[in-house]
Amino acid sequence: MAESKLNALEWVQLNPTGTCPTARSGHSITGMGRISIMFGGIDPQTKKNGKIFPNNQVYTVKVVKDNIEWRPIQCGGDVPLERTNHAACAINNDRLFIFGGFYTSNLRFNDVYILKTTDFNWQQPPNQRSGMEPKNTESKIGAPEPRANCTANFFKDKVFIFGGHGGVGYQRTSYNDIHYFDCETSEWTKVEYQGGSPPNPRGGHCSMVLTDKEMLIIYGGWSSMDQFADIHAFDLVKHNWVNPDISLEIPRWYHSSICIPAIPSWKFFVFGGSVGQFSEGESRTQTKFSDEIFFLDVPDVKDIKPYPIPIKGNTPKGRENASLFWDSSESRLILFGGWSNTWVSDAWALKVNLITGPPYAVYSILPNKGPQTGKTKVTITGDGFKDSNTVIRFSVSKDQFIEVNGSYVSPTELTCETPAFDKVDKPAVVTLSISKGDYTITNTSFQYYLNTQADQCLAFGPGLSFDNSAGNPTLFVIQARNTKG
């Protein structure tokens, strides 16, 4: 991984409130605007015929300060059967999309359920009625083969399903295909790859969509033959694979992840999972549960860089099949549940605002030089600016800075006048805050210089000679100097 210059961050264990769920793994927690929704998973208290069995429970989740508030929801409509290791994603923050998953270790789903968060009613697409125990049969409407451990990502009214483990009948197949579900027509389409080299078949990976670049990113996973540490990118418009020249050192699967659309580059956070390697038929004694957290910085699909996040203090125990979701109000990653040789029910928060920054950024300042007495009119360029209370900070040291008000011009441009400093011996670092939010993690610099002092200036040249003739052109030079000479 690339070298990280971050100061150590600290996990905080959250206090559970409300009606708390049982410990579990293989569940999903999906951000839906102001709340998040947990669905399904497997836990030791849900049993069928005396055996531990998945559940189909729904909880709303809210995080306020150091508390995590749980509320079970009794949903109506076409309630899905119990399942674990399914795929889930949000559709425009008002619908939760669920696909596939394990019913038992041998039976997998390939159905779709959608939960409307306005009334908490489940519904199925009109052409995809199920509700019966799965039989690992091939879809009659072009849906993917029955599978679990796949991923779902929403992009432009479509949900893209990649990979997974499953198959028809008694097959135990790993997949590297992509299908998409059209949210307008409820129809499935299998994507025909137009170029590039697709990843090896796998499940237990993680994925994200870079909406600004129209790309799907795949990381890690495993198959019966191998485990993976590679990263792949798929163009969602051209339908071709682009392979970034990057692979992390250690294979990882069943990890938790979340993508944050930060400025100027998106951040993809990854926690835990199982790491190591094992051969087909071998036990996993050479693997372990990871408690590591890191992020991928993604300015471009061919310039992805992984960075470790140094941690101090207590940390969540290593685990797999947990859920990671986002607390936007505090810029925190929230971790819940998972499997660590037993089911766990703890919840942890990690504040990462120093990595993601606020939803605005500073890129440059012009002019970038001016007198120490201030009042230079400058233009600041960046991204995400709003016509709101903007404070621009000029810092010459950690403890020495002056703030001025900025004037909004456009989402990419602000203006202000530079402040005056009594003494400056290096460029000022320029950052800003909008509506009392965090200061930008990006910055630019402004070079101060001293004003010219007449009694320090020097004039020389033949034009100063007493022997010059009046009325004839001549030459002399004035060297402007400040108080330092």
**Residues 38, 98: contact at Cβ < 8 Å?**
no
Q: Quick count: other Cβ atoms within 10 Å of Cβ 436?
A: 8
Q: Which residues pair with 348 in a beta bridge?
A: 13, 335
pLDDT (mean) for 160-181: 96
User: How much is the pLDDT for 309?
Assistant: 96
Q: Is the per-residue pLDDT at 424 higher than 90?
A: no
User: How much is the pLDDT for 145?
Assistant: 96
Structurally, at CATH architecture level, domain 361-449 sits in Sandwich (2.60)
pLDDT tens profile 395-406:
998 889 999 999
**Residues 39, 58: contact at Cβ < 8 Å?**
yes
**Above pLDDT 70, what percent of the chain?**
96
Q: Where are the beta strands (DSSP E) in 19-57?
A: 28-32, 35-39, 42-48, 51-54
pLDDT (mean) for 451-478: 77
Give domain limits for the chain: 9-356, 361-449, 452-485
User: How much is the pLDDT for 196?
Assistant: 94
pLDDT tens profile 233-291:
999 999 999 988 787 889 999 999 999 999 889 999 999 999 987 666 566 556 899 99
pLDDT tens profile 23-35:
999 999 999 988 9
- Tokens of residue 423, six digits: 């003494």
Of 78, 107, 102, 131, the closest CA to residue 25 belongs to 102
pLDDT (mean) for 187-214: 96
User: How much is the pLDDT for 231?
Assistant: 95
Give the C-alpha separation, 342 to 52, whole Å: 13
Structurally, at CATH architecture level, domain 9-356 sits in 6 Propeller (2.120)
- Tokens of residue 459, six digits: 């004039």
pLDDT (mean) for 224-230: 92
Write down how long the chain is. 485
Tell me the pLDDT band of 186, cut-offs 50, 70 and 90. Answer: very high
Measured at the alpha carbon of residue 203, what is the angle toward residues 201 and 204, in degrees to the nearest 5? 145
- Tokens of residue 294, six digits: 């890191």
3-state secondary structure (DSSP) of residue 48: strand
* Number of alpha carbons in the 13 Å side-chain half-sphere of residue 5: 1
Tell me the pLDDT band of 128, cut-offs 50, 70 and 90. Answer: confident
pLDDT (mean) for 161-175: 95
pLDDT tens profile 429-440:
999 999 999 999
Q: What is the average pLDDT score of the chain?
A: 92
* pTM for the model: 0.88
Tell me the pLDDT band of 465, cut-offs 50, 70 and 90. Answer: confident
User: How much is the pLDDT for 283?
Assistant: 60
